[in-house]
């Protein structure tokens, strides 16, 4: 029967990270529980929603945690409820004691709270992973790659494979992440410092976004392990499992062409603001598009909604090269693409009014490329 | 045909204050519009949802506004849409020009946005008010009175009069504000510095909460004017109209009794935290109550949910006087009552387990009193 005492703040932080994998509305009722396992070495908290699973460990060696384990054991507690209770406790230390089978007494200051739990017997087991030969990535870089690609994945379940991000390693060092919803695409490349095993997986973009939230900026590197059905991202205290999407990811390389007719360099922020104005009006039009007119002298944006009004504006450019060209597209795609670009300038290359155009950060045209499909108008 | 130029920030601030009266989902479509009236003296913005109306004036005398009126006129514009457009404009100045009948051209930097408007002919007129002999209140005091009472009004439409706050002036100087939802009551008294006309009105608590949001802390005093059907709150630039609720407000004085059997002084914050813990468990019980046990030595709180668990805790007190007493009530009412009390200590007086108990700030037992009805348990 479990018995331990712990610093409330450290415990809450681990509980809140684990909670990200737990949905109170899960179709499988037991998955709304949090699993607490206590050994003489520390506590492991586990949460899962069937798609992702998070294990969070607090060891007795962690001085901030002030963890003192008197007796080991394991129990399931209703996650949301338990976390609310812990965060409401008055003192900075709490005692956690199993007083009867699956019944827990929390003591903190003058508060005594008794909670009913459940046996861990029916909680699903996480699949064991072979944790040798990891891919090691800087947390910051991994989060950047996710923020550059995950938004471009589809949110529609009609083609499930497109709701994922395609992650590949070829020639043991060439890393590539790609996402597309068939209207736009975002691709990030990277050459790894250290050779490692090749891989080719599609991970749910939603899992990757959760991953970015779960690993704090204090975690320097993350180890990544692959199995046939899932991928494990692991730091010293957190193990984050996500399932792999099944299916064949479309070949996106054939979409990229090195040829172009018109090249314009914009200031990322001012192009984005112009598109945000255009979007206010284009949302009220039938096809939701903005028209960009490029001549050798200027780039102008136009939207015309017969019901609501119209926008005409000249957009600041750093340079315009090539043919005059007029193209229409959904400004939302361009806004989201520009949000993913951290560089001050963006280079956009157009082939024709009916062919996709590409965006690259002007200061790095090799590693990060995005593609947006235009809309044919009349 | 209207023509003016104005500082974008000042214009937006006035637009956002006016928008608080405008609902985009109003059953009367024209009320989703904003009315703009321009004269040689300035601009008046008007919004209304039928319950409250707000008029906001920017004069040419306001130097921050940089308002330059070239031609007067009036127009209706879709409020949400227009405000989004204005906030997206690139420059800190905008030109507003009516280029055709009910068609407006906004120019700012290199952006030109044309918007369709409507004629003001069909917009409802605000009822004229006699604005002599105002009641003058400090804005800060008025907002305090609202935050002390409005939350205790009913949110149920079954007895519409209880959704209001009852405001009275008797003997030309004795001000009283009362709200009750029949389970709890909150009453604030005040003696005015300057004698003025008596009044007796019930104003929707929702209107009063909006009022608190509309008048900024830079407004020192507010003038209040009364008519048969509405009340006007007015600062130099803003006029806020709210309708008066019809009906007879119940006599709440008879609920207050000066007799009591048990008096306890608590630290407001620690009692509130104890009740917040109790609430987490009581929400899972059938009657949703917490039980408070008072003896000459201590006050303890208890909740017992057969399904979820239980809470037992001793609550810190400054003093306990009178009979031993055990009483049950909904902790949510006590939490909300304590939130309205700014003083560090609170005095609670009990008569019996079945009679309402009162709360007063320990440092001011005359002006602010609240009452909570207990729940009978078996």
Are residues B147 and B97 both part of a single domain?
A: no
**Closest approach of B309 to chain A, Cα-based (Å):** 4
Check if B275 contacts A (Cβ < 8 Å): no
Name, in order, each residue with C-beta under 8 angstroms of A131's C-beta and a sequence gap of 6 or more. Answer: A223, A225, A232, A234
B-facing residues of A in 64-123 (CB < 8 A) are: 78, 81, 84-85, 88-90, 110-116
Please report which confidence band the pLDDT of residue A257 belongs to, taking 50, 70 and 90 as the band edges. Answer: confident
Judgement on whether residues A180 and A209 belong to the same structural domain of the protein:
yes
CB–CB contact B113 A309 (8 Å): yes
Domain that holds residue B177: 135-253
Asked, for residue A39, whether it belongs to a domain, the answer is yes
Report the length, in residues, of chain B.
Answer: 378
Higher-pLDDT residue of A133 and B317 is B317
> Is pLDDT at A242 greater than 80 in this prediction?
yes
Residues A155 and A114 reside in one and the same domain: no
CB contact under 8 A, B111 and A276: no
Identify the domain boundary among A206, A237, A253. Answer: A253
If you average pLDDT over every residue of chain A, what do you get? 95
Is A8 contained in some domain? Answer: yes
B270 and B239 in a single domain? The answer is: no
Q: How high is the pLDDT of residue B375?
A: 94
How far from B241 is each of A153, B18, B154, B203, CA to CA, in Å?
Answer: 49, 12, 21, 11
Residues of A in contact with B115 (CB under 8 A): 308-309
Question: A88, B280: Cβ pair inside 8 Å?
Answer: yes
Residue in B308, B311, B313 nearest the CB of A116: B308
The domain boundary residue, chosen from B238, B253, B268: B253
Give pLDDT, residue B2: 96
Give the residue-averaged pLDDT of B36-65: 96
Question: Per the domain annotation, does A130 fall within a domain?
Answer: no
pLDDT for the residue B376: 87
Per-window interface: A 316-335 vs B, CB < 8 A: 316
Residue B274 contacts A where some CB pair is shorter than 8 Å: yes
Question: Edge to edge, what strands does the sheet with A325-329 contain?
Answer: A325-329, A290-294, A299-305, A309-315, B111-116, B103-108, B93-100, B3-7, B68-71
Whether A29 maps to a domain, the answer reads: yes
Distance CA A66, CA A5 (A): 8
Does residue A378 lie in a domain region? Answer: no
Interface contact A112-B84, CB threshold 8 A? no
Tell me: do A236 and A260 sit in the same domain: no
A345–chain B nearest CA distance, Å: 18
pLDDT score at A364: 85
In 3D space, the residue among A121, A119, A91, A118 whose CA is nearest the CA of residue A106 turns out to be A91
**Cβ-defined contact of A313 to B116 (cutoff 8 Å):** no
Do the Cβ atoms of B280 and A314 come within 8 Å? no
Within a domain: B55: yes
Q: Check residue B378 and give its pLDDT.
A: 60
Query: By the 8 A CB rule, do B262 and B315 touch?
Result: no
R_g of chain B, CA atoms, integer Å: 26
Note whether A240 and A348 are same-domain residues: no
Residues B303 and B359 reside in one and the same domain: yes
Q: Please indicate, yes or no, whether residues B165 and B249 belong to a single structural domain of this protein.
A: yes
Residue B270 shares a structural domain with residue B363: yes
Residue B127 lies in a domain: no
Residue A283: closest CA among chain B residues belongs to which residue? Answer: B81
Residue where one domain finishes, among candidates A96, A122, A148: A122
Residue A378 has a pLDDT of 60
CA distances in angstroms from B37 to A121, B25, B229, listed in the order given: 71, 23, 25
- Please indicate, yes or no, whether residues A306 and A344 belong to a single structural domain of this protein: yes
Q: Please check whether residue B35 lies inside any domain of the structure.
A: yes
Lowest-confidence region among A23-27, A46-50, B130-134, B191-195: A23-27
ipTM field: 0.85
Q: What CATH number does the domain containing A368 carry?
A: 3.10.150.10
Q: Do A277 and B114 touch (CB under 8 A)?
A: no
Instruction: Report the number of distinct structural domains present in chain A.
Output: 3
C-beta separation of A350 from A262 below 8 A: yes
Most A CBs within 10 A among B85, B111, B276, hence the mutation to make, goes to B111
With beta carbons under 8 A apart, name residues in chain A contacting B281.
Answer: 85, 113
Give the gap in angstroms from C-alpha A11 to the nearest C-alpha of chain B: 18
**pLDDT tens sequence across B10-38:** 999 999 999 999 988 888 889 999 999 99
pLDDT digits (tens, 9 = 90+) for A107-118: 999 999 999 999
| B247 DSSP assignment | S
B237 and B165 fall within a common domain = yes
Q: Which of A108, A110, A285, A299 should we substitute to test contact with B (largest number of B Cβ atoms within 10 Å)? A: A110
Q: Identify whether residues A278 and A235 lie together within a single domain.
A: no
């Amino acid at each position: 029967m479990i018995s331990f005492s712990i610093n409330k703040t450290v415990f809450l932080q681990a509980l809140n990270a684990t909670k990200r994998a737990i949905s109170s509305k899960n179709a499988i009722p037991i998955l709304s529980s949090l699993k607490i396992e206590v050994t003489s070495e520390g506590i492991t908290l586990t949460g899962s929603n069937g798609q992702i699973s998070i294990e969070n460990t607090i060891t007795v060696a962690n001085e901030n945690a002030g963890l003192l384990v008197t007796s080991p054991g394991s129990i399931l507690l209703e996650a949301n409820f338990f976390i609310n209770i812990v965060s409401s406790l008055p003192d900075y230390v709490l005692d956690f004691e199993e007083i009867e089978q699956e019944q827990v007494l929390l003591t903190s200051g003058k508060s005594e709270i008794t909670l009913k739990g459940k046996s861990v017997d029916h909680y699903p087991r996480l699949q064991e992973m072979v944790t040798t030969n990891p891919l090691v990535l800087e947390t910051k870089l991994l989060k950047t790659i996710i923020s550059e690609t995950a938004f471009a994945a589809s949110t529609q379940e009609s083609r499930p494979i497109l709701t994922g991000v395609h992650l590949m390693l070829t020639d043991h060092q060439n890393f590539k992440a790609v996402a597309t919803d068939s209207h736009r695409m975002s691709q990030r490349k990277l050459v790894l410092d250290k050779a490692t095993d090749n891989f080719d997986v599609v991970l749910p973009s939603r899992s990757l976004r959760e991953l970015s939230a779960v690993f704090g900026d204090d975690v320097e590197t993350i180890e990544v392990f692959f199995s046939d059905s899932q991928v494990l991202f692991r730091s010293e205290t957190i193990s984050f499992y996500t399932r792999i999407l099944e299916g064949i990811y479309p070949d996106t390389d054939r979409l990229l062409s090195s040829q172009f007719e018109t090249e314009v360099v914009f200031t990322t922020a001012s192009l984005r603001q112009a598109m945000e104005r255009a979007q206010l009006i284009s949302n009220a039009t039938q096809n939701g598009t903005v028209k960009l007119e490029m001549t050798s002298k200027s780039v102008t944006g136009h939207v015309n909604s017969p019901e609501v009004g119209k926008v005409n504006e000249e957009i600041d450019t750093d340079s315009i090269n090539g043919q005059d060209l007029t193209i229409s597209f959904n400004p939302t795609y361009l806004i989201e693409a520009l949000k993913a670009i951290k560089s001050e300038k963006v280079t956009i290359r157009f082939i024709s009014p009916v062919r996709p155009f590409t965006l690259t950060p002007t200061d790095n045209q090799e590693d990060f490329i995005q593609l947006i499909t235009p809309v044919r108008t009349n």
